[in-house]
Structure 1
Amino acid sequence: MTVPSPFLNRPGAVVLPDAVDAGVPSHYGSPNIEQRMLAAGEAIVDLSNRGVVSVSGPDRLSWLNSMTSAELTYLPAGASRETLFLDPNGRVDYAAGIVDDGETAWLLVESDDVPPLVAWLNRMKFMLRVEVADRSTEFARIGLMPGDAPLDLAVASPNGVPLVWSDPWREVVTGGHQYAQGEHPSAGWRWTEVLVPREKLPALATGILPVAGSLAAEALRVAAWRPRKATEADEKTIPHELDWLRSAVHLTKGCYRGQETVAKVHNLGHPPRRLVLLHLDGSDSVLPSRGATVLTERNGEPASVGTVTTAVMHHELGPIALAVIRRNIDQVAHLTVDEDGISIAAAQQVIVPADAGAVVDVPRLPRLGAVRRTP
């Protein structure tokens, strides 16, 4: 994304050099206060660095439905969904939030994924009546947690339907499945994104609406156990590892690319890795970076068992992180995180349990030729 954000000119705007959301303010000087304001529905977040792709034409929904993990065929105008583009082995290539306005499906994706996704979709059109375009230079994304008093935003509605995407992570979607057990923190996750014409951004940036930086949005996301493609996913990720079946997968919709792996792991197997929330020791005032090694002790020696994907300072929980670790690691194992030689103690809170998957009870058949003994 090369369009500079006018929010960068707002007083106090700071862009951290290692922030996952480059090109927009990380914070405005008070990250914890910004989190509280955002959680209360009193602030907006500049997400204009992220991508927007449009798919128009009468075949758009059935076409997207045939290629992705969510049920999209009868998506009503104005309704929100999330879907995953998987490779033939079920690994996550792209993740997209979707809102349809009756004529065009609007895909909210990571900025780095826009060029390859648009190119791939154009190769898959064949004779279908669809048109694919990168709309990131025309429309910008603004994030918020709607409160009691609606915020005055210039929401785009090119075909008469406001382009507002409400994150489905808050509840298990129809056809989905949740691996996390017990009370889920997503109950308070009201994340919403709106598309605004880019020419309206300067007025928003200089207006009276309170603003929060991208760090505030990331902190609330981590506390809600919400995975993000740019951070929690890598080239090996399958949806089960991140509990992504709860918001982006319909398990009985029929065939799509990668569906066999999704069904096989869910019904008969176990994902090789699992997402956890780490409560970090803040004694050294050090937050681990993305990719920091998660360790446990084996035979008296530290052994690598996974990596940190996102670490944040939460305004209530303190230093926390999402991490992806090996499935077979004991759920009560003592973990540490190595950050450039500094060892940070980490208490593991299970999100995806070690026994996730294998939901179909397959009876064990006797071995061929085995002799059945009677008492």
Structure 2
Amino acid sequence: MADPDARERGNAPDDTSTSTAATYSSPLLAVPGAVPAPEEWPDQGVAWHCGDPLVEQREATAGLVVIDRSHRSVISVTGADRLTWLHSLTSQSFTDLPDGATAESLILDINGRIEHHFVATHFDGTVWLDTEREYAAALLSYLQKMVFWSKVEVREADMAVLTLIGPALAKAIPDTTKAVALPDGGFTRPLGWPAEGRADAVVPRPQLTRWWAEYTQAGARPAGTWALEALRVTSLRPRVGVDTDERTIPHEARWIGTAEQHGAVHLEKGCYRGQETVARVHNLGKPPRHLVLLHLDGSDEHRPMTGDPVTAGGRTVGRVGTVIDHFEFGPVALALMKRTIKPETELTAGAPGREVAASIDPDSLPQYEEVQPGRAAVDRLRGR
């Protein structure tokens, strides 16, 4: 299944996103069976798979796998104002985030378009943020510039991420309900996606190989990022810069929701940059595009690339995001599609001359049956 041409897989950032830093190389690439990612795959520097990517995906849904994600960057936020300060800058509610809790959040531009996504864990007096490596420097710089008189300190942290997925998670993680300390530093934290049983171990980088050995000895099968990406896609979880473009707003990417709902945008929190767009779409309108799952023609030797168009009758109606081979569904992709496109529409995905037939999974379509609060208020004023 390994294909050395990442363009065939289509899982490389398009021209609008920053290229993944090519300088990182995980010590776990020396583990027997580890296959490094193809050159243009976004997860550079860690294993793409560990010998059999489809079996690794199956084990993630039936047993337990451990995945090296040490290419991600971690930022620490400390100080008495850490929660209120993050609350004022981001799309998630942090003021009441208890110790041990984890939340996802976004930073938006003034027009409500997504600039950054990160996972934040409040643990032992620190909020730990981990994010895509290629966006980390810009995120760190932005946060440090926004400190002003707040009692916070923002630093790059020498920490690495390992991800465990599977229903047998309790074999390796002592507490699957909240973040808990690991011996000699670091912590584990549960997350609610992409499959039953998911936790990350955020560990000091010098201890990365130690914890990999601990988890594999506890019964976790070594796996690569291919397994996580396949499960993420079928769970309709976007990835910034791959499944989003420079125009994407949170409603399009399905990132609306509280920490408990595994969302990244809390609709009842106070002001933050870009909130006006979020509120307007929530109260009065619908997003112009939405994230859906595409099934691709598996008989075609080609695969579309991230950033390629999705077309209907020769007209561009969407944008391809992550493209992946799934152990049950075959070749699938996430795509940002115009909201008006019906699931029965005949589609193609890919650059001219390399198009493949595609179809929208009807179960992946968002539901828009509820009347928005603002629209309902307007209708009441008009006597409707």
Pair in the same fold by TM > 0.5: yes
Q: How does 1:1-375 map to 2 (within 5 A)?
A: 2-15=23-36, 16-135=38-157, 138-148=158-168, 150-152=170-172, 157=181, 163-168=187-192, 170=193, 188-204=195-211, 208=217, 209-246=220-257, 247-297=263-313, 302-339=314-351, 341-350=353-362, 351-353=364-366, 355=368, 359-360=372-373, 361=376, 362-363=378-379
Do the aligned partners of 1:266 and 1:357 also contact (CA within 8 Å) in 2? no
Please tell me the residue identity of whatever aligns with 1:113.
Answer: Y
SS at match of 2:310: strand
| Structure 2 match to 1:176 | none
DSSP 3-state at the match of 2:291: strand
Q: Any idea what the Cα deviations from partners look like across 1:269-305, whole Å, max 9, x if unmatched?
A: 22121111001110124332211221101xxxx1111
The amino acid across from 1:251 in the alignment is L
Query: Any conservation in 2 of the 1:13–1:27 contact (CA below 8 Å)?
Result: yes
Q: Residue 102 of structure 1 contacts residue 159 of structure 1 at CA under 8 Å; is this kept in 2?
A: no
TM-score (structure 1 length as normaliser): 0.84
User: SS in structure 1 opposite 2:160?
Assistant: strand
Q: Which amino acid aligns with 1:226?
A: R
Secondary structure in 1 matching 2:241: helix
1:342 aligns to what SS in structure 2?
coil
Contact 1:270/1:356, CA 8 A, preserved across alignment: no
1:84 counterpart letter in structure 2: L
Separation in 1, partners of 2:190, 2:169? 17
> Of the two, which has the highest radius of gyration?
1
d(CA) in 2 for partners of 1:20 and 1:210? 23
Structure 1: how far apart are the matches of 2:122 and 2:200? 14
Q: Deviations over 1:192-219 (max 9, x none)?
A: 2220111122334566452101011100
**Which digits, 9 at most, give the CA deviation of each residue in 1:138-181, with x for residues without a partner?**
2110111153353547999489996333334x5xxxxxxxxxxx
Please tell me whether the aligned partners of residues 156 and 195 of structure 1 are also in contact (alpha carbons under 8 angstroms).
no
Unaligned runs of 5+ in 2: 1-20, 258-262
The CA distance in 2 between the partners of 1:205 and 1:192, in whole Å, is: 14
| Total equivalences in the alignment | 343
Secondary structure of 1:65's counterpart equals: helix
**Contact 1:268-1:357 within 8 A present in 2 as well:** no
User: Percent of aligned positions with the same letter in both sequences?
Assistant: 41
Structure 1 unaligned segments of length 5 or more: list them.
171-185, 367-375
TM value normalised by structure 2: 0.82
Contact 1:101 1:161 in 2 (8 A): no
